Structure 1
Amino acid sequence: MKAIGFKKSLPITEKESFIEFDIEKPIPMGYDLLVKIVAISVNPVDFKIRQSAAKDIVLDTPKIIGWDAVGIVESLGDKTSRFKVGDEVYYAGDITRNGSNAEYQLIDERIVGHKPKNLSIPEAAAIPLTGLTAYESLFDRIKVDSERDKGKTVLILAGAGGVGSIAIQLAKKIGNLTVIATASRPDSVKWCKDMGADYVVNHYNLKEELEKIGHSQVNYILDFVDLEGYWETIAEIIKPQGHIVSITASSNPLNLNILKAKSVTFSWELMYTRSMYTTDDIERQHEILNQIASLLDDGIIKSTLTTTLKGFTVENLKEAHRMQESGKTIGKTVIQF
């Protein structure tokens, strides 16, 4: 089968930053599905791992990355029970295994959902990783309750990005929260408003901007961009007994003491935790993806697809990575096979 990967971490402008190669089609066992992939999407994690996974070495076998896919179930492992051959599925994958930048992929059915029926293939491919990350941040980490927490404020840092775009919708439509998103360019401001944000503030003057809209402090903060850069500001603007969730790493130790007086809760969110450690609740991702599919099919939330590239080629994968590396993409970029 055809796959695209890399042997060394190179700038995306280099010829061999991605290479096409052939690999044997895998055979599913246990909980695995063999999925024939029909579309993938590209996230910031893709280029970050491409840039770091083989920085000081040359791999013998090219590394296959990619963690969003829509596909068709071709065959089943002997422990599977949730899907049948021919089912259309979508998922965000497992960072410890070969990724979705290939014609076929093995994937544990417990982290796979049924593709939303009313969405096109590219629209569905845009969802899994960002949908899971946003959902887990709000409902598994903060544990937002739509009745108890109705009207409480959530600040979403990087509202126009892939995760932010879904988080705005889930926080507003499912969480009943007052949603404040950050954006600075006119097109990203408009996008956040279109996603349902009640307020959009400029991240360059965050404290002042929040004061202008009458929300100098917020109940919840979702950091989808730069925890270290915002840390001291976050500590100031979070309400007492508030909750902060971050998906970004910090290159230096964070001073958690500045949250103590307010009894603030801090949580990391990593969508891969359940699959990496085969946690007791690993099938929670199957459930979340099916729930998100229902929300999409019912029109309660919408796909965040903005760009579709046609054809599974090295050139298209490079272009998608270039777009992500620019830091200026809005919504999601999908490659349709």
Structure 2
Amino acid sequence: MTTTTAIGYEKNLPATDPEALTAREVEVPALEPHDLLVEVEAVSVNPVDVKLRAGAPTGGFRVLGFDAAGVVREVGSAVTLFAPGDEVFYAGSIDRPGTNQRLHVVDERITGRKPATLSFADTASLPLTAITAWETLFDRLHLTETSTGTLLVIGATGGVGAIMLQLAEALLPNVTVIATASDAERAAWVQSLGAEHVVDHHGGDLAAQVLEISPDGADWVFTAHSDGQVETYAKIVRPFGHIVAIDDGPRDISPLKGRSISWHWELMFTRPLQQTPDLIEQHRLLNQVADLVDQGHLRATTTRTLTPITPTTMREAHTLVESGHTIGKIVLHDWQ
């Protein structure tokens, strides 16, 4: 039996509690036909990690982590996309053990080649947010390089928003992008990523600000913070427009009916969870993301790095993400 060091939790404790995240040796599962065994070099922490640690029961020891960059060490019997020694990045699946371990098993069809121009640490900032942003723009909203209209990105200073702004800048030349930011530092950040207009979603009337820029309303809205905002969105979005939410959101969207506004959910784990026939699309889009990085059109969104990867640095990262005040992504690299 092969084992590996992993960081996880058994009880739902505050991130500052020394027992909130601990290290132990865990068994490395046998590879399924499409699996890769990856030696993990770097990981990042996402809001989903914090949410699970704070509230999801474990039934034992649960290993978190949904972003990783590393090197393939072994491959399953049906693997055709990678070979031992290849450098990769991916976000994994919520129904398998997480990436916060030295050796991690992942399906090749949701794995991409690591961008050649980025370090492992910076690469680890990208997969989950890039998949979410890509699926939002191109799978949920079906935008193309010929699309015209206005896209409002709410929560633009977060990990997903930071990637979405760059994808829109690179691939949607006729789309006007409005981003939300709550202060001058965050406004400068989103403008550097491609936002053409910035509005303050905390300090003013969001609907009035957006309609001043786009009097007919926004064609598309991406939101990471939709709970309690449906009445506002009904004012902002033009008739027959579209909203994509990634949070748990509201349960009543009836205010949107009068304008025939469509509501979409985006969960980047849907393909691996449901084993959809197009599962390999995540591999393809991650490779396209890597190409955009290497061509200089997309940059990592790392704003803080912690090293080495230990329970202490992992708890620090969780505390920072839990604060709700972070910009971009927090990355951990190098095992102790």
Query: TM-score, normalising length from structure 2?
Result: 0.95
Q: CA 1:215–1:69 in structure 2 vs 1: closer, same or farther (change >3 Å)?
A: farther
Secondary structure at the counterpart of residue 261 of structure 1: helix
* Counterpart Cα distance in 1 of 2:228 and 2:306: 33
Secondary structure at the counterpart of residue 16 of structure 1: coil
Secondary structure at the counterpart of residue 258 of structure 2: coil
- Contact 2:150–2:214 (8 Å) recurs in 1: no
Out of 44, 56, 71, the residue aligned to residue 41 of structure 1 is 44
Q: CA 1:264–1:214 in structure 2 vs 1: closer, same or farther (change >3 Å)?
A: closer
- Equivalent positions of 1:88-99 (< 5 A) are 88-99=87-98
Cα deviation for residue 192 of structure 1 reads: 0.4
* Counterpart Cα distance in 2 of 1:212 and 1:99: 44
Q: Greater shift after overlay, 21-30 or 37-46? A: 21-30
Cα deviation for residue 276 of structure 1 reads: 0.4
* Counterpart Cα distance in 2 of 1:273 and 1:309: 30
Partner of 1:202: 200
Partner of 2:313: 316
* Counterpart Cα distance in 1 of 2:215 and 2:328: 26
Secondary structure at the counterpart of residue 299 of structure 2: coil
Cα deviation for residue 216 of structure 1 reads: 5.7
List per-residue Cα deviations over 1:150-185 (Å, max 9, x = no partner): 3x1000001111000001111222122111000112
Percent identity, aligned pairs only, is 41
Cα deviation for residue 219 of structure 1 reads: 0.4
Alignment root-mean-square deviation, CA = 1.2
Out of 312, 328, 331, the residue aligned to residue 334 of structure 1 is 331
* Counterpart Cα distance in 1 of 2:288 and 2:90: 13
Partner of 1:122: 121
Partner of 1:172: 169
* Counterpart Cα distance in 1 of 2:252 and 2:44: 32
- Letter aligned with residue 190 of structure 2: C
* Counterpart Cα distance in 1 of 2:170 and 2:218: 18
Partner of 1:265: 262
Moved over 6 A (4+): none
Unpaired segments ≥5 residues, structure 1: none
List per-residue Cα deviations over 1:69-105 (Å, max 9, x = no partner): 0010000111111000000000000000000010011
Partner of 2:110: 111
Cα deviation for residue 214 of structure 1 reads: 4.3
- Equivalent positions of 1:145-164 (< 5 A) are 145-147=144-146, 149-150=147-148, 152-164=149-161
Out of 291, 294, 310, the residue aligned to residue 294 of structure 1 is 291
Aligned length, in residue pairs? 328
Cα deviation for residue 42 of structure 1 reads: 0.6
- Contact 1:172–1:178 (8 Å) recurs in 2: no
Partner of 2:280: 283
Cα deviation for residue 146 of structure 1 reads: 1.3
* Counterpart Cα distance in 2 of 1:262 and 1:214: 17
* Counterpart Cα distance in 2 of 1:162 and 1:22: 30
Partner of 2:35: 32
* Counterpart Cα distance in 2 of 1:21 and 1:131: 30
- Letter aligned with residue 304 of structure 2: T
Cα deviation for residue 117 of structure 1 reads: 0.6
Secondary structure at the counterpart of residue 210 of structure 1: helix
